[in-house]
Amino acid sequence: MLSRRAFLSALAASSAGTLARAQTSVKEAPPTVLRIERRSIEVNGKPASVFGVRQPDGTFGIRTEVGKRFRVRLENKIDEPSLIHWHGLTPPWQQDGVPGISGPPIPPGASADYDFPLRFGGTFWMHSHQGFQEQLLMAAPLIIHDQRDRADQQEVIIMLADFSFTPPEQIFAELKKSGMPSMSGAASPGPATMKGMGTPGTTMAPGMAMDKPDLNDVKYDALLANDRTLADPAVVKVEPGGRVLLRVINSSSMSAFHVDLGALDGELIAVDGFRTVPVTGRRFPITVAQRLDIRLAIPRAAAAHPVLALLEGENKQTGIILRAGDAPIARISDTANMASPALTLDLERRLRALEPLKPRKANRVHTLNLTGEMAGYRWSLNNVSWSKDVPPLPLAQGERVELIFINQTRMPHPMHLHGHEFQVVEIDGKRFAGAVRDTVLVPPGRRVVVAFDANNPGLWALHCHLLYHLEAGMFTTLRYV
């Protein structure tokens, strides 16, 4: 039997769609075509060449339904190899879209086919896992509708991103050169605050008092919400008195935000696609790669309701405007009056999964110390920077596995496991049945434990989702058959 890997690479190497067609019953609709493309946007009044993942009719990403199969033909229309990861989904491992782990990248002009069942609904996304393509906005929504969607509810997607006119290779080179690149932001430490910063082997006891965390390695030229800044924000018409479901996706390479609903109360109903006991509030944290589903009741009066995203630790912001009726739209500055605080685990501690994992003792526990230093920009797990020679973490099918993340650095790290949803079960020694999700924030000095069921055998990536940390080696794999 042709392995899936061989199957995908055969498709990638030739233009043959024949294999896929042979597997497809005549009655099935053709697969959704997604194209990896170059496109132009305008940022701060200047043209920018970025990437996109779009259907032939221009739709970004995919909206589909739970219970359907994810049947996609991905076409590479750019002049370099690429591969797309379906973030948060649980495909067979060969279709997970991580070059060198799941399979080879798609060469320019070639395509690859995907076909697997969609087990659950929610807000997901897709992004390149190849090189630094994600920094050039190679990301798109992946929405799986389910019973949460109501006919009387308008869906509004907000894709957050960070943007720089500096090529990402140069950003990375400068980070590696000094650990404090010239594009380093206001919150970046001067030499006086560099002391003790994550020297090799430095350990910090979980929960110990931390100095100000080190945030925002990269100073960006703009923060985007649906490709726009607040100078010319996306304006979405909403019904006065109507209901809105915000699907917020943080597709940033490096930037975490506080989502700020202004005067509106929001009801958080899901994180990373998975339902939680609803939490009402006006401000919700979202680190890199996470998603928030927030229900809003729009007041009856005509008004413009900004939904802002405040960069953690700084006074930069982006956002969109929900416009109810013919309300005038006031210009909102991309600079807030004051810097926002760093993200904390206060919300994470309160979140409770609506459908938690069955309580069960872990069969296997892996401890992952998040390690590294700004100097030389070396990032690692258990002091090992990723290379092909690093053996995968072992586990076995059917096991309940717990991953203990202990952040020994001064930077927050959003940790993402591929191919499985996990549940947050402990923060700093306190057990609880927290949110089911796929990416969890581990702030400096903190200890976070997640649990998952080993029910999707294969070779899977496990990494920090900050793009330049991942590229610098804060990445590993796990494998079981």
Q: Which residues bind Cu ion (CB under 5 A)?
A: 413, 464, 466, 469, 474
- How many angstroms separate the CA atoms of 395 and 454, rounded? 8
Which of residues 174 and 471 has its CB atom nearest to Cu ion in the complex? 471
Q: How far is the CB of 470 from Cu ion (least distance, A)?
A: 7
Between strands 413-417 and 439-442, the pairing is: antiparallel
A 10 A CB-CB count for 158 gives 24
Q: How far is the CB of 255 from Cu ion (least distance, A)?
A: 13
How buried is 267 (Cβ within 10 angstroms: 0-12 exposed, 13-18 middle, 19+ buried)? middle
Residues 6 or more apart whose CB falls under 8 angstroms from that of 471 comprise 131, 132, 172
- Residue placing its CB nearer to Cu ion in the complex, 427 or 474: 474
Using CA atoms, how far apart are residues 116 and 456, in angstroms rounded to an integer?
Answer: 12
The nearest distance, CB 287 to Cu ion, in angstroms, is 10
CB closer to Cu ion out of 459 and 474: 474
For the CB of residue 372, give the shortest distance to Cu ion in the complex, in Å. 8
Q: Locate tokens 């909102």: which residue?
A: 332
Q: Which is nearer to Cu ion, 400 or 413 (CB)?
A: 413
Half-sphere exposure (Cβ direction) of 27: Cα atoms closer than 13 Å = 0
Secondary structure (DSSP) of 82-109 = B-EEEET----GGGS--BTTTBPPBPTT
Report the residue number, 158 or 470, with the smaller CB distance to Cu ion. 470
Distance CA 189, CA 446 (A): 21
Q: Closest separation between CB of residue 130 and Cu ion, Å?
A: 19
CB of 463 to Cu ion, least distance (A): 8
Q: Min. distance of Cβ 85 from Cu ion in angstroms?
A: 17
Q: Please, which residue, 64 or 407, has the CB nearer to Cu ion?
A: 407
CB of 418 to Cu ion, least distance (A): 16
| Distance from C-alpha of 435 to C-alpha of 273, rounded to nearest angstrom | 10
Q: Which is nearer to Cu ion, 184 or 456 (CB)?
A: 184
For Cu ion, the closer of residues 114 and 377 by Cβ is 377
Task: Please report the DSSP string for 295-347 in residue order.
Answer: EEE--SS-EEEEEEEEETTSSBEEEEEEEETT-------SB-SSPPPPP-SHH
